[in-house]
Amino acid sequence: QSVLTQPPSASGTPGQRVSISCSGSSSNIGSNTVNWYQQLPGTAPKLLIYSNNQRPSGVPDRFSGSKSGTSASLAISGLQSEDEADYYCAAWDDSLNGYVFGTGTKVTVL
């Protein structure tokens, strides 16, 4: 079972800003960096944000990440139709000695 909690869904109209939260604990987000993945329907996950707020080459700057204490968030500004996907946060967990993913958030563009 996932130890990182995300809202099951989020939505917005084109151009709006959408934010997704990720809640963890001291053993994961509280002591390690957070990464975010985007999964388009029927495809493999894609790295969106690493080390809390870093974007890999090719990821638009509309996507941004932040972390505070045992929580993190992903923001999508200027929402576009192609952003409709599932989003997962993830981090290493020192207690479990393993990598943990969030429960996932489905973003819908209205």
Partner 1 sequence: EVQLLESGGDLVQPGGSLRLSCAASGFTFSSCAMSWVRQAPGKGLEWVSHISSSGGSTYYADSVKGRFTVSRDTSKNTLYLQMNSLRAEDTAVYYCARRMVAATAFDYWGQGTLVTVSS
Judged by beta carbon, residue 13 or residue 97, the one nearer partner 1 is: 97
Distant-in-sequence, close-in-space partners of 16: CB < 8 Å, separation ≥ 6: 79
Interface with partner 1 (CB under 8 A): 2, 32-33, 35, 37, 39, 44-47, 50-51, 54, 56, 86, 88, 90-92, 96-104
The closest alpha carbon to 22, from 5, 34, 36, 8, belongs to 5
CB 62, min distance to partner 1, A: 19
Smallest distance from the beta carbon of 15 to partner 1, in angstroms?
28
Q: Using DSSP bridges, classify how beta strands 46-49 and 35-39 pair: parallel, antiparallel or unpaired.
A: antiparallel
Helices then strands, counting H and E runs in the chain, come out as: 0, 9
Cβ proximity to partner 1: between 48 and 109 the closer is 48
Q: Name 80's Cβ contacts closer than 8 Å, sequence gap at least 6.
A: 14, 62, 109
CB of 102 to partner 1, least distance (A): 8
Contact 11, 110 (CB under 8 A): yes
Nearer to partner 1, 46 or 62 (CB): 46
* Residue placing its CB nearer to partner 1 in the complex, 84 or 92: 92
For the bound state, the minimum distance from the C-beta of residue 82 to partner 1, rounded and expressed in Å, comes to 19
